[in-house]
Amino acid sequence: MAQPIVPIRASTQSFTEIIDVQGDLVLFADGSVALVVATTAVNFGLLSEKEQDAIIYAYAGLLNSLSFPIQIIIQTKHKDISAYLKLLEDQEKREKNPKLVKSIHGYRLFVASMVKEKDVLDKKFYIVIPFSHLELGSSPSVLFGTKSSGLPYNKSYIYERAQTVLLPKRDHIVRLLARVGLHATQLTSEQLMKLFFSMYNPGTTPPDMSTIDVGKESNG
């Protein structure tokens, strides 16, 4: 007789090993922490050759100045512009000037045709700065990799140590990106939760993050 199939009941939190988001930092099950910086982008193809060379040299300088690891994440989504097309349609109906009506109508049809021919993509760029649990100092679970569940130290100590290490690195990255002509900002706790929710629940509207206790399953 076939055994009944037992459904897998595992939360996204267990899958990602994220146990808490606090103080604009992400805490993982092994005591590691990450800080995420969102940055703008440059349309490299529209720059002159001289400007492109300047960007390349500045970016090379950024990489060569790093004394710590970073992770670059590019998030690409299909952009829904139906609301924008509806806005143009409403504006066209309200407009009294015949010339403006004709211009809006032509522009709306142009945008609609472009969407049909090509995918409209929304790209977001992030830089992740990690803090390893090994940087916490000596602890039985850190040194010998004990199998006991829970964090190697209490969360308040981990966050305090992580902030001390990560914030200067963040400031360094932000300054270097500014030299390349990019504006960077650290993601807040709410922005981090929305980011991870959208990654693991594509196409779903994020809930009100202020009502979610991310660390309720964690220890320490």
Each residue's pLDDT tens digit, 142-196: 445 544 457 888 999 999 999 999 999 999 999 989 988 899 999 999 999 988 8
Q: Is residue 4 part of a domain?
A: no
Q: Are residues 182 and 138 part of one domain?
A: yes
Q: Is residue 112 part of a domain?
A: yes
Q: Is residue 114 part of a domain?
A: yes
Q: Are residues 206 and 160 part of one domain?
A: yes
| Spatial separation of the C-alpha atoms in residues 179 and 157, rounded to whole Å | 34
Helix (H) or strand (E) run with residue 87 in it = helix 82-94
Q: Are residues 22 and 52 part of one domain?
A: yes
Distance of CA 133 to the CA centre of its chain: 22
Q: Are residues 139 and 66 part of one domain?
A: yes
Each residue's pLDDT tens digit, 73-123: 998 877 777 888 888 889 888 988 988 989 988 988 888 887 766 666 778
Q: Is residue 3 part of a domain?
A: no
Of the candidates 119, 142, 175, which is a domain's last residue?
Answer: 119
Q: Are residues 170 and 108 part of one domain?
A: no
Count CB neighbours of 18 within 10 A. Answer: 21
HSE toward the beta carbon, residue 89, CA cutoff 13 A: 8
What is the domain count for the chain? Answer: 2
Q: Is residue 16 part of a domain?
A: yes
| Site of tokens 């320490």 | 220
Q: Are residues 197 and 129 part of one domain?
A: yes
Q: Are residues 140 and 106 part of one domain?
A: no
Q: Which of 163, 155, 173, 166 shows the shortest CA–CA distance to 130?
A: 166
Q: Are residues 187 and 205 part of one domain?
A: yes
Of the candidates 64, 97, 119, which is a domain's last residue?
Answer: 119
Q: Which of 136, 84, 146 shows the shortest CA–CA distance to 115?
A: 84
Q: Are residues 113 and 62 part of one domain?
A: no
Predicted TM-score (pTM) of the model is: 0.70
| Spatial separation of the C-alpha atoms in residues 34 and 129, rounded to whole Å | 6
Token output for 49? 């050759």
Q: Is residue 60 part of a domain?
A: yes
Q: Are residues 109 and 164 part of one domain?
A: no
Each residue's pLDDT tens digit, 169-178: 999 999 989 9
Q: Are residues 16 and 38 part of one domain?
A: yes
Of the candidates 62, 92, 119, which is a domain's last residue?
Answer: 119
Full residue range of the structural domain in which residue 45 is found = 12-76+122-217
Token output for 156? 């308040």
- Percentage of residues of the chain with pLDDT beyond 90: 32
Within 8 A by CB and 6+ apart from 158, the residues are: 27, 31, 33, 136, 151, 152, 220
Q: Is residue 44 part of a domain?
A: yes
Q: Are residues 90 and 56 part of one domain?
A: no
Each residue's pLDDT tens digit, 52-69: 898 888 888 888 989 999
Q: Is residue 6 part of a domain?
A: no
Burial of 162 by CB count in 10 Å (0-12 exposed, 13-18 middle, 19+ buried)? buried
